[in-house]
Every structure is written in C-alpha cells, then in structure tokens.
Structure 1
Amino acid sequence: MSMILTAAQVVTPARILAPGWLHLDGDRIVEVGEGTPPRAPDLDLGDMTVSPGFVDLHVHGGGGAAFDTGTAESGAAVVAAHLSHGTTSIAASLVTDTPERMAAAVRELALLVDDGVLAGVHLEGPWLSPHRSGAHQPGALTEPDPGAVEALLGAGDPSTGSGRRGAVRMVTLAPELPGGTDAVRLLTDVGVVAAVGHTDATYDQARVAIDAGARVGTHLFNAMRPLHHREPGAVGALLESPAHVELIADGVHLHPAVLRTVFAAKPGRCILVTDAMAAAGAPDGDYLLGPMEVEVRGGVARLASEDGDGPIAGSTLTMDAAVRYAVRTAGLPLVDVLHAASTAPAAAWGLADVGALAPGRRADLVVLDDGLEVVRVMRGGTWVGP
C-alpha cells in the first residue's frame, strides 16, 4: 500500500530535512523530500523526528534472553526486545565458548539469518588476547588456526560446509596472536568483516592487520592496549585508518569527551553499538553471558565477583538510550549520532538494503519525540512497536 508520511524532521544520511516527507510503497521507500509533499499526507507525525531504523552490529542479548543459547525462541526474544527500542536490523554476537557450543549456536542462528530476522552472526572470540579477555572465559581462548576459523564459518553455511561467509558476517580477533594476520586475510577473502578487538596489539601489529583487510574496531578503547603517546597501540592505528570503530555510549564504557574526540577524528566512520547482554530492557539481577556468570546492579553488568567489582560484562544499553546519551550528555549533533546508529553500521557490513531513508531502501523507520524517546517503529513497511 502506498502512503505519504510527513514530520517536522526527516533524517537523511547527509542532513535533516525540516520539514520532510516520505513516500512509502509496501516495504520500500519510494521518495524522500523536503517541504510540501506531492499530495496530502496519509499520516502527519507533527513535531516528531523520523530516523532510519537503527542497525546494531554488536548484541549478545536483551529482554532477559541471550543469543548464546542458540535457540530460535531466545533469538526471537532478543530481537523483539531491541525492536521496541528502534533497532530494526540486529546482529547476534556470540562470546567465547567451546568450539562445539559456538558451532551449534551458529547453526541455529543461521536459520534466523535465512529468515531475515537477523542481519548476521558476529563471533566475538575465541581468538582473543588472554591479556585483554574482558568478560570472555580465559581458558577457552585459542589461537586462530585456519581449520578452526573455517569450521565456525562453515557452521553458518551448511550448504558448503566451509569457505564461504554464510551467516557469519563479522569476526572479532586479536591480530597479534600467532596466525592472526593470516586469519584476517582468510576472513576478508570470503567476505567476512575482520574486526580488531580484545587485543594487546602494538600500533605496528594493528597496522599490519588493517593493511591485511581488517576494517572494524570492536568497542574502541575497551579491552584494548591503552592509547599512549609513545605507543598508540590498536587505538591509534584504528583512529588514523579508514576502519569503522564501535563505540558504546552508555556512560560506563566511555567518557563523553572520548565520544566527542572520536566523532571529530572519524567523521562518518563511528558506529554506535550496545554490546547488550540479556539484562538490556530487563531488571537488575544475575544472568549468564555465554558460560560466564554476570551480576547486574544499577544497570551495570559485571562478571560475578566477591566484591561486586568484576570486569564490565557487556551493557544493559538499548540503541535509543545510546542515541540520547550521545546527543544530550556528549553534546554530539543529532544528524551525526543517527548516522552512527544506522547508516555507518549498515555500510560497515555492506547492508545495502537498510540504514538510510533513501529511495529503494527497506522502509525501516523510528519515530522519535523531542526528547528522543521512541514513539513508533516501522520495519519493512509495517508498524511493529513499541
């Protein structure tokens, strides 16, 4: 069904149209314009802002459920929890576990990728630095042997068994590990995004990985060798490269000044992610992140410990809250923040069908009020929440 929507603001990749309008036909965007639409609108959203649907490339769970269980039911629960907060394209991120359990989860989640429920699977481990393991089980970390890499990729592509991307769209690894650079090349050759993360890499080691094809930095600064003026490490290498960088804008992982600095240093290449675990959109309590026990207190997730001060274990963030924090607390321009929440992540993964309000794209929209709270969500031309 064809319809025209109008709103005080319509956010395109380049600028905000004020006022703006969208012409939708079925599940597609047909036209986007500024000022008066070609005919009377079917729906006038008044003072609202219409943003592209959010794209979150790094999510472990939400709504009390987690992707690590690898079941369709839990996966659907996570998707529904984040959809109500404006995320219309979502990746299933898996933390380090045994190869058998990770492969089993990939196989099950691949079914949701095939059905269009998930944008893809992100493997965060097991090829991570033991010195920067964060909330990953240290004893399960391994070096990226080519056979092991191909086996996990193959679990997401049962038709071939190996050698193709399949459901796995991104792999986070520490490139300084033995075989790390070769793994980056292997991933790049089959169309998988190689991401640098949970790494103790020096600047030179990170540069080698970027030159080999790595093009995303996983939750920049967190679980990385700190930036130092005499040894910039992976942070320095990523900041000066063309790579996209993930940022967790929750007030726990990064200081707002760091957000401002990175947005200024990498215009158009910043990606907001939630790194959300099961407690996102759910109460405080005790949860699991893969095999690791997590305590959530005051909305902050940490590995369970006697003193309650264990390592940060993901977040309880939703993307709409990340947008509000980046705009209100960090003071970043709305158009740049919404670009980082939609257009940039879609570009990083080559998702040509989503991430922008542009002709031909899927009709994925988030309607925000003047407080940047989610009022309505559309996915594929259908209103779905909240």
Structure 2
Amino acid sequence: MTPDGIVTDGWIEVGGERITALGTLPPPGRVDLDVGGGWIVPGFVDLHAHGGGGASVAGADPAQVALFAATHLRHGTTSIVASLSSAGEAALDRDLRALAELAEDGVIAGVHLEGPWLSPRRKGAHPASALRAPEPAMVARLLSAGRGAIRMVTLAPELDHGLDAVRAVADAGAIAAVGHTDASAGTTRAAIEAGATVATHLFNGMAPIHHREPGPIVPLLADDRVTVELVLDGIHLDPAIARHALGSAGPGRVALVTDAMQAAGRGDGHYPRGDIGVTVHDGAARLPDGTLAGSALTMDAAFRFAITRAGFTIQDAVRATSTTPARLLGISGRTGALRPGLTADLVVLDAGYRLVAVMHRGAWVRTG
C-alpha cells in the first residue's frame, strides 16, 4: 500500500535502514520474504499509549519503557509516543526529564502529557486529586522539563487559563489537544482558533452531543484543522460511531490510537495503577467502579477492526495508523509511508489483515 495506491504483485527493496526501491514483478534480486497474497503496509505510528507488555511509562524507568516500546513494536508499531497520565508536578517533572532522554535515544518518538489540566467532570480514570487548572507558570515549567520531547498535551480548554495554555503548547511546537473536557461548542471553537489541532480519543472523556448544547464533539469533527483520535477496540466506541466519525471528518483527519495500558500484549488480569489498580476482563480495562482505564489494544488489532468492523478501506486504515499520525508528529519525512528514501518500517499482514511480520529500521523484529 503506497502513497500512490495499491501495488499488486509488487516488491520492496531495502538497503540498510531505508527503502531503496519499489516496483512490480519480477523482483530485481533474491526474495527474502514472499508475502503470498497478503499486504505490506507502513509501520504503525501510535500517538497515545501508556503501557504494554506489563510495563507502564509512568515512573519513566528505562527498562519498563523499553519493554513497553518493544511490546508494541512486535504488534507493528514502529514509532510510539509515551503518554503520561495526571500526577503531581514533581512526579511529572521527573518523568518528563527521563523520558526526554529516551526520546533522544530513539526508544520512543516523544511524550504525550495527558493531564493534569483536565475537567474533573470528564476525568475518566485520572485521579481527581491530581487535576488542576493550567496555571501559566506550571505549564511553562513542564514544557521546559520536556526539553522539546513533548509532542502533545491534552487539556480541557474551559478551565481557568485554558486558552492561554493551548497557545503556550502550540507556541512550544507541540500538539495542543482537546480532551477530558466539558467545554461548550463555543469554547471548543475558541480553542481551535488558539491552536488546538487534535481531539483526544473523540467521544470518550468529553461531554456528549446534545441537540441544544452540542459540546466539543461537533466543532471538533467539523473543523478541517482538527485530527480526531479514535480508540477502535470494540469497547470504547461502537463501530457505527467510528463510521460516523470517519464520514464526518474524512479519512485524512482520523488517527487511530491505542490508549493502551499495561495489559496490551499481555491480556486479562489485574494491573497496578495508583492505590486501586485496574482489572482487565474480556479485553476491557476498568477501575473498580467500572470506569474505563485505557485499553488492552494493539495497533494491529485496531487496523483490522477499522477495516472489518468500522467501514475503513485499507487506504483509510493506512492513513489513520501511519500517514496521518506521522504527519502530526512531524516525522513524515522519515516514516509513515512506503516510499524510497524513507525508513524501512514495514508491517506484513495476511489476506485477513492479521499480523505476519514486522520490520523496523530495515531489520526484521518479528516474522510469523
């Protein structure tokens, strides 16, 4: 699946870490892997993930973050952003500084700060005690602690100083995202004008649509400047809602994310989170009160769900899992498509869109 469309009976040549050529049969030399009727698509790019393989990015332990990244890599995610949940400023400052080093080393593609500037009414699994308004000095301190590695900040623009925070994040070169918000449609439009360009897990953690109070969802879907995240695990969204979002925003404005916690790549069980923990049952991660607490999703499963359940074409799915998130992160000159000169980040799928192999930077990390 190339930027120019589907290539039937095609081949890809890799030299070192890069794609050197693409073409149609016959291949120019020895074939290392014959896909045999399957698909080759670009490596997935995940904007929003908190954990995987039993590991969490909270605490920024290098071994844990490496396990997190390696787990998602085996499921086709060749570029991943580490997402921090709401916590005290000291903890966030410490984690941001440590994660910035791991971003510099290429373990992760950057950091997503999801909170603590979120609505108490739409906090989801974020601890209420950690939430606060985005006071300008605190915003500046945490942006500085990230040393340029913060790629996205999710906040509720209706909070005191919310619109100023959107401007500060955008001015720092990061993505300002609207999420965990109870904002009105008017405030949401003001946030977009201030520089917000992403809707964090659209529909989840935000005021629902009402015919007299449309809330944030309608303006986020309507504005061409905004890309909407969708969590397609069959739990966060009904497939009909995913189809509606795709039809409303268009395939170029949708980014699939996992919002994954420790259970991704591991399965059902009980996982630590703060003082209470999260239980995953039948793939759904919940707090004891039933609140969803992220997902156990991997991007290969999201890709498959998008096509088989949510009405995406394979072109739509590639855009949503690779091309669009790479563009948002500013790495489309390196990855996010199958094109000569780009990094050889490849995912091989069978005819039913199930994972067969993964190549990262020109080396196979999973075959079979």
Q: Secondary structure at the match of 2:221?
A: helix
Query: 2:62 aligns to what?
Result: 72
Q: Please, which of 94, 102, 125 is the counterpart of residue 104 of structure 1?
A: 94
Q: Which runs of 5+ in 2 are unaligned?
A: none
What secondary structure sits across from 1:22 in the alignment?
strand
Residues 262-298 of structure 1, C-alpha deviations (whole Å, 9 max, x = no match): 1112221100000000011113222134565211112
Give the conservation status (yes or no) of the 8 Å contact 1:278–1:289. no
Q: Deviations over 1:312-356 (max 9, x none)?
A: 000000011111111112232112112101111111121121111
In structure 1, which of residues 44, 55, 59 is the aligned counterpart of residue 45 of structure 2?
Answer: 55
Give the 3-state SS of the residue equivalent to 2:296 in structure 1.
coil
Please tell me the root mean square deviation across aligned C-alpha atoms, in Å: 1.4
- From 33, 39, 48, give the equivalent of 2:28: 39
Tell me the equivalent position of 1:163.
none
Q: How does 1:10-21 map to 2 (within 5 A)?
A: 11-21=1-11
Task: Work out whether residues 231 and 237 of structure 2, in 8 Å CA contact, stay in contact via their aligned partners in 1.
Answer: yes
State whether residues 280 and 317 of structure 1, in contact with CA within 8 Å, keep that contact through their aligned partners in structure 2.
Answer: yes
Question: In structure 2, do the counterparts of structure 1 residues 345 and 291 end up closer, same or farther at CA, with 3 Å as the change threshold?
Answer: farther
Say whether 1:281 aligns with 2:265.
yes
Say if 2:248 is the partner of 1:258.
no
User: 1:327–1:337: 8 Å Cα contact kept in structure 2?
Assistant: yes
Distance 1:201 1:19, change over 3 A: same
Asked if residue 94 in structure 1 is aligned to residue 75 in structure 2, the reply is no
TM alignment of 1:38-187, pairs within 5 A: 39-43=28-32, 44-157=34-147, 166-187=148-169
**1:220-239 equivalences in 2 (<5 Å):** 220-239=202-221
Count of aligned pairs between the two proteins: 363
Cα deviation for residue 28 of structure 1 reads: 1.2
Equivalent residue number for residue 6 of structure 1: none
Per the alignment, residue 351 of structure 2 pairs with 370
State the shift of 1:16 in Å. 1.5
Q: After superposition, what is the alpha-carbon deviation per residue over 1:49-76, rounded to whole angstroms, capped at 9, x for unaligned? A: 1010000010000111100021100000
Q: Which amino acid aligns with 1:351?
A: I
> How far apart in 1 are the matches of 2:160 and 2:54?
37
| CA distance in 2 between partners of 1:321 and 1:265 (Å) | 23
C-alpha contact 1:13 1:339 (8 A) present in aligned 2? no
Q: Which residue of 1 aligns with 2:325?
A: 345
Cα 1:376–1:290 shift into 2, 3 Å: farther
Matching residue of 1:358: 339
Is the 8 Å Cα contact of residues 238 and 245 (structure 1) preserved in structure 2?
A: yes
> Any idea what the Cα deviations from partners look like across 1:83-134, whole Å, max 9, x if unmatched?
1100000010000011111111111111110011100000000000011000
Shift of 1:38: 6.3
Work out the CA distance in 1 between the residues paired with 2:314 and 2:341: 24
Change (3 A) 1:12 1:291: farther
Q: Which amino acid aligns with 1:57?
A: L
Equivalent-residue separation in structure 1 for 2:233 and 2:35 (angstroms): 29
Whether the aligned pair in 2 keeps the contact of 1:136 and 1:292 (CA below 8 Å) is: no
**Residue number in structure 1 paired with 2:191:** 209
Counterparts of 2:67 and 2:27 in 1: how far apart (Å)? Answer: 40
Q: Secondary structure at the match of 1:17?
A: coil
Structure 1 residue 210: Cα displacement? 0.4
Q: Does the 8 A contact of 2:42 with 2:347 survive in 1?
A: yes
Aligned partners of 1:117 and 1:179: how far apart in 2? Answer: 33
For residues 291 and 105 of structure 2, the distance between their equivalents in structure 1, rounded to whole angstroms, comes to: 35
- What are the superposed Cα offsets for residues 158-188 of structure 1, whole Å, 9 maximum, x if unpaired? xxxxxxxx11110000011110111111111
Q: Are the counterparts in 2 of residues 13 and 357 from structure 1 also a CA contact under 8 Å? A: yes
- Matched to 1:279, the amino acid is A
The equivalent of 2:232 in structure 1 is: 249
Aligned-residue identity in percent = 52
1:238-261: per-residue Cα shift (whole Å, max 9, x none)?
A: 101121110000110101011111
Partner of 1:28: 18
1:58 partner SS: strand
What's the CA shift for 1:374?
A: 1.1
Do 2:256 and 2:320's aligned partners in 1 also have CA atoms closer than 8 Å? yes
- SS at 1:204 equivalent: helix
**Hey, what's the Cα distance between the residues in 2 that align with 1:359 and 1:190?**
32
SS of equivalent residue, structure 2 residue 28: coil
**Alignment of 1:320 onto 2:300:** yes
Counterpart CA distance in 2 for 1:79 and 1:219 is 21
2:221 is aligned with what amino acid? L
CA contact (8 A) 1:137 1:291 kept: no
Q: 1:95, 1:290 within 8 Å by CA — same for their partners in 2?
A: no
Residue in 2 aligned with 1:4? none
**Partners of 2:56 and 2:68 within 8 A in 1:** yes
Instruction: Report the counterpart of residue 171 of structure 2 in structure 1.
Output: 189
Unaligned runs of 5+ in 1: 1-10, 158-165
Contact conserved, 2:143 with 2:172, CA < 8 A, in 1? no
CA contact (8 A) 1:60 1:68 kept: yes
